[in-house]
Amino acid sequence: MPVKHDLYQDLSCTKEVVQQKRANDPHLNALLDKYSVVDNQVLSAEAQALGDDDVRKLKEKRLSIKDEISKSLNGSVSR
């Protein structure tokens, strides 16, 4: 059964803080949009019981984006 992850809890930030930073940072905004798309792809793949390798690749992609978001929120991404 697919389980949606709470991105804000994973990032140890409130939704309000993330949304405020998102409004002032186009790169962070794009990353959050990208994360949402990939997260939905993971949920869909899990619901459709796609192959483990396909789901694993999507989860790795989602984790990579989440790492970028975390770095961006902490100001350690050079643009």
Q: What is the pLDDT of residues 20-73, one digit of tens each?
A: 999 999 999 999 999 999 999 999 998 888 788 999 999 999 999 999 999 999
Q: Which two tokens stand for residue 76?
A: 């350690």
Which residues have a Cβ under 8 Å from the Cβ of 28 and sit 6 or more positions away?
21, 22, 69, 72, 73
Looking at residue 72, its pLDDT comes to 93
Where is pLDDT greater, at 74 or 29?
Answer: 29
Decide: residue 71, CB within 10 A, 0-12 exposed, 13-18 middle, 19+ buried: middle
For the chain, the structural domain boundaries read 8-73
Looking at residue 49, its pLDDT comes to 82
Looking at residue 2, its pLDDT comes to 67
From residue 6, give the alpha-carbon distance in Å to each of 12, 13, 50, 76. 10, 11, 22, 22
